Amino acid sequence: MTEVEETLKRIQSHKGVIGTMVVNAEGIPIRTTLDNSTTVQYAGLLHQLTIKAKSTIRDIDPQNDLTFLRIRSKKHEIMVAPDKEYLLIVIQNPCE
Amino acid sequence: MPTSPSGSRKSVSHLAVLQSKKSISFTEKAKEALKKGFSGVNQSRMGVSRNLVILPEMKTTEKVNVPGPKTVQVLDENGVDVTPRPLYSSDPGAAKPSKLLSSQEGSLGSDIMASYSMYQNTLNPSVMGQFTRSALGSSTISKSSISATESMAEDLEEPSYKGEKLASFTGVMATTWDLYDSFDALKLSSSAGKRYAVESSSKANVLPKERLEQKLPAALTDKTSETSSLMDLENVILSKVHEDEEDHAEAIFKSDKFLQDLFFMERVLMENIFQPKLAAYRQLPILKEPEPEEPKEFSECVKVEEVEEVKEEEEEIEISEEQTIPANLERLWSFTCDLTKGLNVSSLAWNKLNPDLLAVGYGHFGFKEQKRGLACCWSIKNPMWPERVYPSPYGVTAVDFSIGTPNLLAVGYYNGTIAIYNVQSSGNVPVLDSSESPQKHVGPVWQLQWIEQDRGTTGDDKREFLVSISADGRVSKWVIRKGLDAHDLMRLKRTTVGSNKKGGEKDKKGEALISRQAPGMCFAFHPKDTNIYLTGTEEGHIHKCSCSYNEQYLETYRGHKGPVYKVTWNPFCPDVFLSCSADWGVMIWQQENFRPFLSFYPTTHVVYDVAWSPKSCYVFAAANESRVEIWDLHASTLDPLIVNVANPGIKFTTVLFAKHTDCLLVGDSDGQVAVYELRNMPTASDCGRVRLKQKTESFTQGWCHMPVSQHLRRLRQEDCECEAKLSLSLSFSLSVALSLPLLSHTCVCLKSTQL
Helices B209-239, B137-152: crossing angle, 10 deg rounding: 150
**How many angstroms separate the CA atoms of B564 and B566, rounded?**
6
Whether residues B181 and A62 touch (CB distance < 8 A) is answered with: yes
Q: How confident is the model at residue B155 (pLDDT cuts 50, 70, 90)?
A: very low
Q: B535 or B29: whose pLDDT is higher?
A: B535
pTM: 0.60
Single-letter residue type at B401: F
Q: How confident is the model at residue B442 (pLDDT cuts 50, 70, 90)?
A: confident
What is the predicted pLDDT for the residue at B246? Answer: 62
Residue A41 CA, chain-centre distance (Å), reads: 12
What is the predicted pLDDT for the residue at B269? Answer: 85
Average pLDDT over residues B397-419: 90
Whether the per-residue pLDDT at B610 is higher than 80: the answer is yes
Whether residues A92 and B269 touch (CB distance < 8 A) is answered with: yes
Q: Which CATH number fits domain A1-90: 3.60.10.10, 2.60.40.1120, 3.40.50.300, 3.30.450.30?
A: 3.30.450.30
Whether residues A14 and B179 touch (CB distance < 8 A) is answered with: no
Q: How confident is the model at residue A90 (pLDDT cuts 50, 70, 90)?
A: very high
Whether the per-residue pLDDT at B673 is higher than 80: the answer is yes
Burial bucket for residue B729 (CB in 10 Å: 0-12, 13-18, 19+)? middle
Average pLDDT over residues B120-145: 43
**How many angstroms separate the CA atoms of B649 and B653, rounded?**
13
Alpha helices in B240-297 (DSSP H): 241-254, 256-273, 275-281
Average pLDDT, chain B: 66
Phi, psi angle pair for B715, to nearest 5°: -60, -45
What is the predicted pLDDT for the residue at B231? Answer: 59
What is the predicted pLDDT for the residue at B103? Answer: 41
Substitution target from B175, B252, B266, B333 for chain A, most A beta carbons within 10 A: B252
Strand partners, A31: A22
- Please give the full DSSP string across B543-579, using - where no structure is assigned: EEEETT-SS--SEEEE--SS-EEEEEE-SS-TTEEEE
Whether residues A85 and B170 touch (CB distance < 8 A) is answered with: no
Q: CA torsion sign, B371 to B373 to B379 to B385?
A: negative
DSSP class of residue B83 equals P
What's the gap in Å between the CA of A27 and the closest CA on chain B? 7
Average pLDDT over residues B626-643: 85
Q: B399 or B228: whose pLDDT is higher?
A: B399
Strand partners, B611: B621
End-to-end CA separation in angstroms for chain B: 112
Average pLDDT over residues B461-478: 84
Query: Cβ(B27)–Cβ(B68) under 8 Å?
Result: yes
Residue A90 CA, chain-centre distance (Å), reads: 5
Whether the per-residue pLDDT at B734 is higher than 90: the answer is no
Of A7, A55, A86, the CB nearest to B266: A7
**How many angstroms separate the CA atoms of B424 and B388, rounded?**
9
Query: Cβ(B329)–Cβ(B674) under 8 Å?
Result: no
Single-letter residue type at B541: H
Lowest pLDDT segment from B362-371, B462-471, B732-741: B732-741
Q: How confident is the model at residue B650 (pLDDT cuts 50, 70, 90)?
A: confident
Whether the per-residue pLDDT at B62 is higher than 80: the answer is no
**How many angstroms separate the CA atoms of B396 and B386, rounded?**
16
Average pLDDT over residues B749-754: 39
Of A43, A44, A88, the CB nearest to B261: A88
Helix or strand (DSSP H, E) at B231: helix B209-239
Whether the per-residue pLDDT at B40 is higher than 50: the answer is no
What's the gap in Å between the CA of A8 and the closest CA on chain B? 7
* 3 state DSSP class of B648: coil
What is the predicted pLDDT for the residue at B361? Answer: 92
Say how many CB pairs under 8 Å bridge A and B. 131
What's the gap in Å between the CA of B338 and the closest CA on chain A? 12
Average pLDDT over residues B668-693: 70
Whether residues B96 and A43 touch (CB distance < 8 A) is answered with: no
Extents of the domains making up chain A: 1-90
Q: B86 or A38: whose pLDDT is higher?
A: A38
**How many angstroms separate the CA atoms of B63 and B72, rounded?**
11
> What value of ipTM does the predicted structure carry?
0.85
Average pLDDT over residues B598-616: 88
From B268, which residue of chain A is nearest by alpha-carbon distance? A79
Whether residues A48 and B96 touch (CB distance < 8 A) is answered with: no
Contacts 24+ apart (CB under 8 A), B279-285: B280/B330, B280/B332, B280/B677, B281/B332, B281/B380, B281/B658, B281/B661, B281/B663, B281/B675, B281/B677, B282/B661, B283/B661, B283/B662
**How many angstroms separate the CA atoms of B38 and B164, rounded?**
8
Lowest pLDDT segment from B258-272, B390-404, B415-429, B673-687: B673-687
Question: Residues for chain A: how many in total?
Answer: 96
B359: which residues sit within 8 A by CB, 6+ positions away?
Answer: B347, B348, B349, B350, B351, B375, B376, B377, B378, B399, B400, B401, B409
Lowest pLDDT segment from A57-71, B238-252, B573-587: B238-252
Q: CA torsion sign, B145 to B151 to B153 to B158?
A: positive
Whether residues B177 and A43 touch (CB distance < 8 A) is answered with: no
* 3 state DSSP class of B688: helix
What's the gap in Å between the CA of B272 and the closest CA on chain A? 6
From B260, which residue of chain A is nearest by alpha-carbon distance? A4
Contacts 24+ apart (CB under 8 A), B33-37: B33/B71, B33/B73, B33/B81, B34/B73, B34/B81, B34/B83, B34/B149, B34/B153, B34/B156, B35/B158, B35/B160, B35/B161, B36/B81, B37/B73, B37/B80, B37/B81, B37/B83
Average pLDDT over residues B442-464: 77
Burial B483-498 (b: 16+ CB within 10 A, else e): ebebeebbbbbbbeee
Substitution target from A51, A70, A75, A92 for chain B, most B beta carbons within 10 A: A51
Q: pLDDT digit string (tens) for B332-373?
A: 888 888 888 888 899 999 998 988 899 999 988 887 777 888
Average pLDDT, chain A: 88
Q: B62 or B388: whose pLDDT is higher?
A: B388
B663: which residues sit within 8 A by CB, 6+ positions away?
Answer: B281, B332, B657, B675, B676, B677, B678
- A chain contacts of residue B173, beta-carbon cutoff 8 Å: none
- Please give the full DSSP string across A69-87, using - where no structure is assigned: EEEE-SS-EEEEEE-SSEE
Q: How confident is the model at residue B752 (pLDDT cuts 50, 70, 90)?
A: very low
What's the gap in Å between the CA of A48 and the closest CA on chain B? 7
**How many angstroms separate the CA atoms of B329 and B629, rounded?**
10
What is the predicted pLDDT for the residue at B287? Answer: 64
Substitution target from B100, B261, B338 for chain A, most A beta carbons within 10 A: B261
Of A1, A22, A26, the CB nearest to B134: A26
Query: Cβ(B536)–Cβ(B586) under 8 Å?
Result: no
- Over pLDDT 70: what percentage of chain B? 51
- B chain contacts of residue A62, beta-carbon cutoff 8 Å: 176-177, 179-181
**How many angstroms separate the CA atoms of B220 and B228, rounded?**
11
The residue among B692, B701, B693, B743 whose CA lies nearest residue B722 is B701
Q: B144 or B377: whose pLDDT is higher?
A: B377
The residue among B288, B399, B385 whose CA lies nearest residue B337 is B385
Whether the per-residue pLDDT at B577 is higher than 60: the answer is yes
Q: B368 or A73: whose pLDDT is higher?
A: A73
What's the gap in Å between the CA of B418 and the closest CA on chain A? 28
**How many angstroms separate the CA atoms of A83 and B651, rounded?**
48
Instruction: Kindly give the pairing relationship between strand B357-362 and strand B373-379.
Output: antiparallel
Q: Measured between alpha carbons, how far is residue B293 from residues B300, B301, B646, B677 in Å? A: 10, 11, 39, 32
- Please give the full DSSP string across B55-80, using - where no structure is assigned: HHHHHHHHHHHTTSSS----B-TT--
**How many angstroms separate the CA atoms of B531 and B362, rounded?**
31
Q: pLDDT digit string (tens) for B179-191?
A: 777 777 777 676 5
Residue B613 CA, chain-centre distance (Å), reads: 24
Q: How confident is the model at residue B70 (pLDDT cuts 50, 70, 90)?
A: low
Residue B288 CA, chain-centre distance (Å), reads: 25
- B chain contacts of residue A27, beta-carbon cutoff 8 Å: 98, 100-101
From B94, which residue of chain A is nearest by alpha-carbon distance? A51
3-state SS of B2-60 is CHHHHHHHHHHHHHHHHHHHHCCCCCHHHHHHHHHHHHHHHHCHHHHHHHCCCHHHHHH
Query: Cβ(B24)–Cβ(B155) under 8 Å?
Result: yes
Q: How confident is the model at residue B377 (pLDDT cuts 50, 70, 90)?
A: very high
- B chain contacts of residue A7, beta-carbon cutoff 8 Å: 259, 262-263, 266
- Over pLDDT 90: what percentage of chain B? 8
Average pLDDT over residues B72-92: 66
